[in-house]
Each structure stands twice: as structure tokens, then as C-alpha cells.
Amino acid sequence: MNFSIEVNNKKVEALKGEKLLDTLNRAGIKVPTLCHMKDRFPSGACRLCVVEDMNTGKLITSCSFPASEGMRIQTHSPRVVESRKTIIELLLANHPDDCLYCTRNGNCELQSLSDNLQVRERRITGRKSKNNMDLSSPSIVRDPDKCILCGRCVRVCEEVMEVSAIDFINRGSRTVIGTSFNQGLNTSSCVNCGQCIMVCPTGALTEKKHYEEIKNALADKTKTVVIQYAPTISVSLAEEFKMKPGTDINRIMNAALRKVGFDYVFDTTFSADLTIMEESAELIQRVLNNGTLPMITSCCPGWVKFAEEFFPDLLPHVSSCKSPQQMLGAVIKTYWAQKMNMAPANIYSVAVMPCTAKKFEAQREEMTTEGITDVDAVLTTRELAQFLKMLGVDMENIEPENADSPHGFRSTAGKLFGASGGVMEAALRTAYFKITGNEMPQLKVDQIRGLQGRKEANIKVGDLEIGVAVVSGLANAKKLMEEIRAGKSKVHFIEVMACPGGCINGGGQPIGAGENAIKARMKSLYDIDEQEAVRVSHKNPEIIEIYNEFLGEPCGHKSHELLHTTYNKRDVLM
């Protein structure tokens, strides 16, 4: 039942049972928050969302207080503004004064609130925090001194990802957010997904930078420096340059990367096609030969580490395929190096990914052969934007260029890898062709598209009916894995992405983009798929060429040696 409340002397419609903050947001009335997370149970911890109830004269937290008929609310009364300003001043009292050096300078919620509330002098002083930075993780840096205890990182890690690597520890004024026994993040259950970075309002959580290594490699005349970029990068990078969300700047990005000194520029979508060839062949082998089913994708390193830690008994279900990043890294330092007559040790290979877990994946022992790593350094979408800005690239005045070949041509099936359900859809297109000899009558599989956390479908492939499931967000993955353990799931093939919505919402993407931007990125990938000619991985001419010249056949001896790997149980401090 709907009813009206009075907000700032105007009538606003409210819904029965909803929280006041939701009512205000629907009405377009902006109220600041720090601890609040959309669609999550309110904690009411930061108190920034207070409003004045004119009926009682009290300040109430709008995120946790229900809207009720007859309410009269002021959202920016003098008492409210002064309360919010005092809260910010208290948070700043022991906060580091290093905004000029902070990664989040200019994109910090605490900084913005301080500006909006006109905090222009230090009225409250406190002893500055003196905690050690945690540099132990290969992907994520924790700076406890910049933490304001909003709890958003704890909640996303526990409620959305069900990893629970971090939590509030100690008591009272000594409370901090840390890991079990306050050890390094590398010994915790952290899967390096970076979703904590995405929700952190300050610079307390950031990705580990690889700038210096890359700059040194670019300056080293003995090195050939190559770079690859993931399918979703071209539709998300534009936002960092104030362009419309979802804008595809693929060819502009190619030119920009060459301009800053990369010798060769490759599209990881090529190796997404390669992954489909291997993964579909593996699935067919398992289905036809009574292999371990359901088979689960292995493209997402956050998911793979989650499986190693929490579901080691289900590792035989996980595909042995390397991710597209690692496949292309391996191909560059073998097949491509041979074609170019280069020593693999003299090739420095960089990857641009929407994901902080890719930094972890690149340094896994399994991704190194005879001292040569598949990929040497990884940049996130955010880091690439900062790198290009640092080197003075004008993205609006640059002549677009194509990626280098081989390993530059792609199908649109590989491009779909960026969205949840895309790997599944691409794999089904090729599996259907391999089993029936014909193309899928309808390449678009609506049942597994969209941002829902779990999607399932039954797909008719010749005489077979293949049950498929797509999950994103590790809490959804955990629930499905528990069903498999219990023998309840009747699916044959499962796609898992750690981040909600897939790589378009990865932990290395632009911070603070919002749901509309994520939807725009997804739409852009689907539009590319609709508009281009080669929409299946098995028709990519460069894929056909590499199998004919080098790999032999999918899941054959050579491809298995180069493009597949193993995963093992991990012990962590819980």
C-alpha cells in the first residue's frame, strides 16, 4: 500500500515496509551515506544518512528507519548538516593527510563529502593511525590507516562472495579491519577478486601496481614488449576518459598502446576463441565418454582459487583449460616467438584485465615453464587509464588502428566472455557445431543472458539435451556447488564468474560506475555480437591456422601441454 510523507515541505510517495532512504532515493533526493550498500540489510553504522524527524525532533538514520504515514522529514536542516559535518571531521581526525599521493585522490567518497560539507579547518584533532601496510597479496594492497571502518569491504567479502577473508578485529577505539590473526592477506582465504576495492570509499584498498616493471621493460632495448587486452576492456576503458559508458574504443586503444611504446598489441578475444575450442572439446569428451560431470569453467582465477580452498573435492569437475590471458601468454612465448624468431626470455608480456585476480593468476607456479612465465605483468582497466594519462596520450585525437596479427583477429563469441553467460553461450555455439556438423539455428541464448546471479537452461544439441547453469558472485557459486555435492544438480556444464555480472563488473574496472554503466558495457558486447560477421570461435581463420600449423587438434597432446593446467587443494588461515 502506498502513502505520502512530507519531505522538505513537499509530498513524496512511499511504499509500505520500505526504508526511508529508499523512499528518498526514488524521489531523487540525495542523502549521503558511507556504510550503506544497495539491496543489503542496513547497518546504520556511519550515521551520515541522518535526517530530522520534525514530528519528534529527533535525528534518525534513514537507511534503517522505516517510512511511515504522516512523517515530516527535513533532509538538510541545520542540525542535520552540522551532524554530518561533525561525523566527517571525526573521521578525518586520525586520517592520513596524504591526499595528494593517494590513488583515490579525486575519486574518494570521504574527500567528496568533506568538500560538500565545507570542512575547511581541523576543529577535531586525534592521534594519527600507525598501522603497517599489508603488501603480502600479489593483487591487493591494504592500508589500514586509511580505513574508516564503514564495513563495506567486510560485507561484500562475506555476503556477496562468501569468502570472509576480512572482518572487524579488536575492540573499541582499537578496532581495525583485518584477516584472521591479523596476518597477511596472502595467508587468508582471499581469492583476489577485488570486489572489496570496488566498494571501499577511500584508498584503504587498492590493486598492486605493476607500473615500474612495465616502464622499465619499455625502456629496455633488449626486450620486445607485447600487450594483450581482455574482451571487456574496450567497452569499459572509455569511462575513465569521460566518454559514454559502453563506448567501444577498441581501435583507439590499439593506437594508444602503440603510442606509449608497446611493440605489439594483441586482443585476448583471440585466445577466448582458443579457450572455446579447447573447452568445448573437453566438454564433448566428458559427455560422450562418461567423464566427470558437470564440467565447470576455469576462465576466472578468483573462482578457481575459491574452488581450491572451499571445494577441493570438486576440482575434478573444473576444466583443465588455462584462462584466455594465460593461453595467449603461452602462445606468444612459443608459437609466436618461433614465427618471429625471438627468444622467449627476451619477450616481456603484459596483460590488461578487468580483474585484480589476474595478477595472482599470472604468478601461479603452474603458469611458468622452465623459468619463463606466460604473462609477466598485469594492469587493471583503471591502471591502464592512469598509465595512458601519465604518458600524455590524447584519446580523443588519435588515429584508430587494428590489433596485430596473428592473435589479433577474433570472433564475437570470444567478445561475449566479458559478460556473465558469455563463455557458456560461446562454448555452446561451437559444441553444437562439433556434435551436429551444423551451426546453431539461433546463436543467441536468451536464457543465460542478463545480470541475474544464477541462470539455467536445457539446450538441445542433436540427440543430446545439455543442462547448463551460469552463476556470478561466489555466494551463488557456493550454493550451486553445495547442490552438486548433494547430488541434486542435473546440469552438464557450468560457467562461474566470481564478480557479480561477470568481467564487466570485475574488481579492476572503473570505481563508482554504477549499475547503468555495467548494463551499458553488457549491451555493447551483445551489440558487437549482433553486428559482426564471424560469430563463432571455430570460424576464426587465425584459430584454424594455429591448429593447422602448431597445435594439431583441440585437447590433443600439444594443446594439452601448452594450454591446460592443474589445480590443487589450498590450506589457508580461516
The string of pLDDT tens digits covering residues 319-368 is 999 999 999 999 999 999 999 999 999 999 999 999 999 999 999 999 99
Q: Which residue in 503, 524, 555, 559 is the catalytic one?
A: 503
Q: Is 84 helix (H, G, I), strand (E, B) or coil?
A: helix
Q: Which residue has the cell 607485447?
A: 226
* Residues 352, 300 share a domain: yes
Mean pLDDT of 455-470: 94
Total residue length of the chain: 574
- 572 pLDDT exceeds 80? no
Residue 86 within any structural domain of the chain: no
* Residues 461, 405 share a domain: yes
Q: Which residue in 6, 159, 162, 366 is the catalytic one?
A: 366
Within 60-158, residue ranges assigned H as helices are 78-93, 109-116, 152-155
Question: Which residues fall within 8 angstroms of residue 437, CB to CB, at 6 or more apart?
Answer: none
Tell me how far the alpha carbon of residue 466 is from its chain's centroid. Answer: 28
Mean pLDDT of 399-418: 94
φ, ψ of residue 564 in degrees (nearest 5): -120, 165
Q: Which CATH number fits the domain that encloses residue 57? A: 3.10.20.740
Q: Which residue in 19, 146, 333, 358 is the catalytic one?
A: 358
- 574 pLDDT exceeds 60? no
pLDDT at 333: 97
Confidence band for 163, pLDDT divided at 50, 70 and 90: very high
Q: What distance in Å separates the CA atoms of residue 312 and residue 518, rounded to the nearest whole number? A: 32
* Residues 459, 372 share a domain: yes
Mean pLDDT of 554-563: 95
Confidence band for 272, pLDDT divided at 50, 70 and 90: very high
Residue 572 within any structural domain of the chain: no
pLDDT at 271: 97
pLDDT at 573: 57
Of 186, 207, 228, the domain-final residue: 207
| Local structure of residue 233 (DSSP, 8 states) | G
* Residues 435, 543 share a domain: yes
Residue 452 within any structural domain of the chain: yes
How many distinct structural domains can be found in the chain?
3
Between 248 and 126, name the one with better pLDDT. Answer: 248
Task: Kindly provide the b/e burial profile for residues 122-161, where b requires at least 16 CB atoms within 10 angstroms of the residue's own CB.
Answer: eeeeeeeeeeeebebbbbbbbbbbbbbbbbbbbbbbbebb
Pairing of the two strands 72-74 and 50-53? antiparallel
pLDDT at 202: 97
Cell of 410: 577474433
**299 included as an active-site residue:** yes
Mean pLDDT of 402-409: 91
* Residues 507, 453 share a domain: yes
Q: Which residue in 189, 319, 524, 537 is the catalytic one?
A: 319
**439 included as an active-site residue:** no
Q: Where are the beta strands (DSSP E) in 158-209?
A: 167-169, 176-178, 205-207
Cell of 460: 538441445
Residue 475 within any structural domain of the chain: yes
Q: Are 466 and 490 in contact (CB under 8 A)?
A: no
Q: Which residue in 46, 63, 102, 299 is the catalytic one?
A: 299
Q: What distance in Å separates the CA atoms of residue 501 and residue 166, rounded to the nearest whole number? A: 23
Q: Which CATH number fits the domain that encloses residue 473? A: 3.40.950.10
Angle subtended by helix axes 422-436 and 269-288, to nearest 10: 60
Q: Which residue in 279, 308, 425, 495 is the catalytic one?
A: 279
Question: Which residues fall within 8 angstroms of residue 452, CB to CB, at 6 or more apart?
Answer: none
Q: Which residue in 361, 383, 425, 495 is the catalytic one?
A: 361
Residue type, 354: P
* Residues 187, 218 share a domain: no
* Residues 437, 410 share a domain: yes
Task: Kindly provide the b/e burial profile for residues 302-340, where b requires at least 16 CB atoms within 10 angstroms of the residue's own CB.
Answer: bbbbbbbbbbeebbebbbbbbbbbbbbbbbbbbbbbeee
Q: What distance in Å separates the CA atoms of residue 186 and residue 192, rounded to the nearest whole number? A: 9
Q: What burial class does residue 515 get, using C-beta atoms within 10 Å of its C-beta: 0-12 exposed, 13-18 middle, 19+ buried?
A: exposed
**3-state DSSP of 412-459:** HHHHHHHCCCHHHHHHHHHHHHHHHCCCCCCCCCHHHCCCCCEEEEEE
| % of residues, the chain, pLDDT over 70 | 99
Residue 361 within any structural domain of the chain: yes
Predicted confidence (pLDDT) per residue in 192-212, tens digit: 999 999 999 999 999 999 999
Confidence band for 39, pLDDT divided at 50, 70 and 90: confident
* Residues 188, 217 share a domain: no
Q: Which CATH number fits the domain that encloses residue 115? A: 3.30.70.20
* Residues 186, 47 share a domain: no
Q: Are 362 and 377 in contact (CB under 8 A)?
A: yes
The counts of H helices and E strands in the chain are: 19, 19
**549 included as an active-site residue:** no
Q: Are 107 and 511 in contact (CB under 8 A)?
A: yes
Residue 541 within any structural domain of the chain: yes
Confidence band for 118, pLDDT divided at 50, 70 and 90: very high
**361 included as an active-site residue:** yes
Cell of 379: 594492469
Average pLDDT of the chain is 95
φ, ψ of residue 33 in degrees (nearest 5): -145, 160
Residue 22 within any structural domain of the chain: yes
Question: Which residues fall within 8 angstroms of residue 78, CB to CB, at 6 or more apart?
Answer: none
Distances (CA, A) of 60 to 47, 57, 69: 8, 9, 16
Q: Computed from CA positions of residues 324, 329, 334, 337, in that sequence, does the dihedral angle turn out positive or negative? A: positive
Give me the residues paired with residue 138 across strands: none
Q: Which residue in 240, 278, 282, 309 is the catalytic one?
A: 282
φ, ψ of residue 466 in degrees (nearest 5): -100, 125
* Residues 112, 67 share a domain: no
Of 42, 76, 110, the domain-final residue: 76
Confidence band for 535, pLDDT divided at 50, 70 and 90: very high
* Residues 247, 172 share a domain: no
Nearest by Cα to 95 from 122, 77, 59: 122
Predicted confidence (pLDDT) per residue in 51-82, tens digit: 999 999 999 999 999 999 999 999 999 999 99
Nearest by Cα to 300 from 176, 159, 428, 193: 193
Range of the domain at 144: 91-207
pTM exceeding 0.85? yes
Confidence band for 490, pLDDT divided at 50, 70 and 90: confident
- 1 pLDDT exceeds 80? no
**3-state DSSP of 372-388:** EECCCEEEEHHHHHHHH
Q: What distance in Å separates the CA atoms of residue 270 and residue 264, rounded to the nearest whole number? A: 14
Distances (CA, A) of 528 to 60, 481, 522, 532: 48, 33, 10, 6
* Residues 137, 12 share a domain: no
